Amino acid sequence: MRILTVLYIGMLTGWRLCAAELETRMHQFEYASPDLVERQIRALVPEAPRVSMNPRANQVLVIADAETQDKVAAMLKVLGRPPRKLKFRVQHNREVLNFTIADGIPLTLPVSQTPPQNLIMQARGRLAPETRNLPVVGSALQAHVILLREDPAVLRVRVVPAVIFGALQPYQVVSYDDLAMDMMLNTEEYVELQKVLGHHDFYRQFLLTQPDPVAAPRPVSLLVSFEGVEFPHPESENED
């Protein structure tokens, strides 16, 4: 009986010691979405009552041991870095355009305000019946950009062709996600999209313009240059 009593007391004492090791910390996060933060923390602290989100204040209350708290803090520090800015120069026919976008934000590359008639008819077939008579706005490439390496900088760009219809915003966008193409960009050279994408029959048709419906379509010149990465300035740790 005495042995059982000692074991029982030991179990209670051990439980209390474990409970005493848990810490309650309020963590602050910036830039990352609350949903992403919660998913990442739940992977470390799966017990639902021990994680409490406050999305409006960009705060999360975590009850966990010291080691897990440090892991949460380190993870939030990585997620809280300001997004890097990616700089591009696009030569569209004779016009030169400069873009700066945050890493992970889609970039829209204009192709033509007067796409070929056969492309317009093909895209209309993908519209809902009640929107098939909308005027065409133009064609574009939706570019989804991922920075693969910082030094030397290398990007992976996934382009999705799209034809836009409508008289007023929001426009109806017909995206050809099934025809997405990947390409790599670095800071050393221009990429001529006609050469990179033109081996595909659809893109040879897509990268054309037809200002006069009677005349034959002509090629669009579209060159893209990745100009580099702009890193956020680190905040001073001694800032008041």
Residue 4 has pLDDT above 90, yes or no: no
Three-state secondary structure of 28-86? ECCCCCHHHHHHHHHHHCCCHHHEEEEHHHCEEEEEEEHHHHHHHHHHHHHHCCCCCEE
Banded pLDDT at 165 (limits 50, 70, 90): very high
Residue 36 has pLDDT above 50, yes or no: yes
What residues does 136 pair with on adjacent strands? 165
Q: Tens digit of pLDDT for each residue in 61-89?
A: 999 999 999 999 999 987 877 778 899 99
Banded pLDDT at 5 (limits 50, 70, 90): very low
Residue 160 has pLDDT above 80, yes or no: yes
| Separation CA 159–CA 146 (nearest Å) | 12
Residue 14 has pLDDT above 80, yes or no: no
| Separation CA 51–CA 24 (nearest Å) | 10
Give Dmax (Cα) for the chain.
102
| Mean pLDDT on 233-237 | 49
Please provide the distance, in angstroms rounded to a whole number, between the alpha carbons at the two ends of the chain. 63
Confidence (pLDDT) at 41: 94
What is the overall mean pLDDT for the chain?
Answer: 86
Which has the higher per-residue pLDDT, 208 or 103? Answer: 208
Which residue segments constitute the domains of the chain, with CATH numbers given?
Answer: 16-79 (3.30.1370.120), 85-230 (no CATH)
Confidence (pLDDT) at 157: 92
Among the listed residues 198, 200, 203, 161, the one whose alpha carbon sits nearest the alpha carbon of residue 180: 161
Among the listed residues 144, 102, 134, 131, the one whose alpha carbon sits nearest the alpha carbon of residue 231: 102
Banded pLDDT at 120 (limits 50, 70, 90): very high
Confidence (pLDDT) at 239: 44
For the chain, the residue count is 240
Which has the higher per-residue pLDDT, 151 or 218? Answer: 218
| Mean pLDDT on 99-113 | 88
Among the listed residues 140, 155, 136, the one whose alpha carbon sits nearest the alpha carbon of residue 206: 140
In angstroms, how far is CA 107 from the centroid of its own chain? 10
Banded pLDDT at 151 (limits 50, 70, 90): confident
Kindly state the tokens that stand for 39.
């998913």
Confidence (pLDDT) at 234: 53
* Tokens 């030569």, residue located: 91
Q: Of 73-77, 129-133, 148-152, 184-188, which gets the smallest average pLDDT?
A: 148-152
Confidence (pLDDT) at 78: 79
